[in-house]
Amino acid sequence: MSAHLVEVIITNKSGVRDPEGETIHKHLILKKGYSMVMGVRTGKYLLMTVSASSAEEAIRVVKEVCEKLRIYNPIVHDIEVRLHT
């Protein structure tokens, strides 16, 4: 067994409003003249240290934890789980 760092990125699905992202875009980025930025989506970032025999097992465990413990809501969120590099 060895320790693996696994990243979890949780974002709102594309059809779900993102008020925080909209506020950052409208009231910060556009007001400072960065009109080339077309939009902002916010999310959550988790970094988990997992003791596992392989990177694949660590990723599987983190996916299971996120789903079973409802760390995200699959109805409104997308999730990306990957090995931290």
- List the domain range (segments joined by +) for residue 42: 2-83
Identify the CATH number of the domain in which residue 10 sits: 3.30.1280.10
> Left (φ > 0), alpha (ψ -120 to 50) or beta: where does 70 sit?
left
Domain count, the chain: 1
DSSP E strands in the chain: the ranges are: 2-12, 43-52, 77-83
Residues 30-71: tens digit of each pLDDT: 999 999 999 999 999 999 999 999 999 999 999 999 999 999
Predicted pLDDT of residue 85? 86
pTM of the model: 0.85
